[in-house]
Amino acid sequence: MKVNLKRNWHSKLIYSYFPLFLLTISILIFLSFLIVNELSRNETRKADLISTRYIVNTLERSLGDIEMRLLDDIVSSKMYSRFLEEGEGQLSSQFIYDAASGLGRMIDQQGMVQSIYLYRMSDSSIITPRGMVSLNDFEDRAYIEQALKNKLNLGWNQPRSYKERSFDMPTQVISMNKLLPLPWGGEGLLVITVRLYALESQIDTMTDKNLSFLQVKDNKDQLVYSAHQIAPTEGNILNRVQSEKLGLSFESGIQTGHLYSWVSLVSYVWIGIGILTIVGAVACLIYITRRNVKPMQLMMNRIQALQPHVHEEDAAPSVKDELALIDRALEHLIAQTVDYEKQHHENLLIHRRQLLVDLMEGERMDSFRQRLRHLQPLEERFLEPQCAAVLVAEMNGTDLSGHQNIMKMALMNVFKELVQKESKFGAWAEWFGKRRLIVVVVSNEKEGLTRELLTELAKQLHMWIAEHFRIRFTFGIGQTVSGWEEITRSYTSADAGLQHRLTLGQDAIVLSEQLTDQTELYSYKYLQMLADIIREFRLTGDAWRTQLDQMFISFNEDQMNDKDIRMLVQSLIQMLAREFGELSERLQHQFDELVLARVRLQIQEADTLEGIREVLLEWLKEVYRNYVAVNETKSHRAMINELRVYIEEHFGDPDLSLKHLSDRFQISGKYASYLFKEEFDMKFVDFLVKLRVEQACKLLASSDTAIQNIAQQVGYANAISFGRVFKRVMGETPGDYRKRYGKQVE
What's the pLDDT score for residue 418?
77
- Kindly report the CATH number that applies to the domain delimited by 378-514: 3.30.70.270
* Rounded average pLDDT over 575-602: 78
How far is residue 8's CA from residue 318's CA, in Å, rounded to a whole number?
9
How many CA atoms within 13 Å lie on the side-chain side of 364? 13
- Give residue 319's pLDDT band: very low, low, confident or very high (50, 70, 90): very low
State the average pLDDT over residues 250-271.
61
pLDDT of 312: 47
The pLDDT of 412-432, averaged and rounded, is 78
The pLDDT assigned to 153 comes to: 61
Res 423 pLDDT > 70: no
In contact, 382 and 442? CB cutoff 8 Å: yes
Region 496-509: mean pLDDT is 70
Q: Which of 552, 443, 450 is nearest to 503 (CA)?
A: 552
Q: pLDDT class for 480, splitting at 50, 70, 90?
A: confident
Is 730 exposed, middle or buried (CB count within 10 Å of its CB: 0-12, 13-18, 19+)?
A: middle
pTM over 0.75: no
Tell me the mean pLDDT in the region 267-288: 73
Is residue 267's pLDDT more than 70? no
Tell me what pLDDT residue 669 has.
75
Going from N- to C-terminal start, the domains of the chain cover: 77-201, 378-514, 519-631, 636-741
* Percent of all residues in the chain with a pLDDT value above 70, rounded to a whole number: 81
Q: What is the Cα 272 distance to its own chain's centre?
A: 57
Q: Which CATH class is domain 636-741?
A: mainly alpha
- Amino acid at position 478, single letter: G
Answer yes or no: is pLDDT of 138 > 60.
yes
pLDDT at 543 over 90: no
Most confident stretch, 125-134, 225-234, 309-318: 125-134
CA angle 72, 130, 128 (to 5 degrees): 40
Instruction: In whole angstroms, give the CA distance from residue 59 to residue 66.
Output: 11
Kindly give the residue spans of alpha helices, DSSP state H, lying in 206-321: 268-291, 293-305, 312-315
pLDDT band at 518 (very low <50, low <70, confident <90, very high): low
SS3 content of the chain, % helix, strand, coil (to 5): 60, 15, 25
Q: What is the pLDDT of residue 403?
A: 53
Q: Which pLDDT score, from 0 to 100, does residue 265 have?
A: 45
pLDDT (0 to 100) of residue 481: 85
pLDDT over threshold 70, residue 634: no
Mean pLDDT across the chain: 78
Confidence label for 116 from pLDDT (cuts 50, 70 and 90): very high
User: In this structure, are residues 157 and 116 in contact, taking their beta carbons and an 8 Å threshold?
Assistant: no
User: How far lies 617's CA from each of 81, 508, 523, 525, 593, in Å?
Assistant: 74, 26, 22, 21, 18
User: Which residues are CB-contacts of 452 (< 8 A; sequence separation ≥ 6)?
Assistant: none
Give the H/E segment covering residue 605: helix 593-605
In the predicted model, is pLDDT for residue 507 greater than 70? Answer: no
385 pLDDT band, cuts 50/70/90, is confident
Say how far apart CA 195 and CA 175 lie, in whole Å. 9
Lowest mean pLDDT among 114-118, 224-228, 254-258, 704-708: 254-258
Q: What is the mean pLDDT of residues 425-454?
A: 81
Other beta carbons within 10 Å of 188: 22
Question: Could you count the other beta carbons within 10 Å of the beta carbon of residue 52?
Answer: 22
Q: Which amino acid is at 7?
A: R
| pLDDT(14) > 80 | no
- In this model, does residue 102 exceed pLDDT 80? yes
Evaluated on CA atoms 68, 74, 75, 77, the torsion sign reads: positive
Query: pLDDT category, 593, cuts 50, 70, 90?
Result: confident
- Residue range 332-352, pLDDT digits in tens: 778 777 777 777 667 777 877
Confidence class for position 257, pLDDT limits 50, 70, 90: low
- pLDDT (tens digit, 9 = 90+) per residue, 547-572? 888 888 888 777 777 788 888 888 88
Q: How would you class 178 by CB atoms within 10 Å of its CB: exposed for 0-12, middle for 13-18, buried for 19 or more?
A: buried
Max avg pLDDT among 195-209, 251-265, 675-689: 195-209
- Average of per-residue pLDDT across 166-178: 87
| Architecture of the domain spanning 77-201 | 2-Layer Sandwich (3.30)
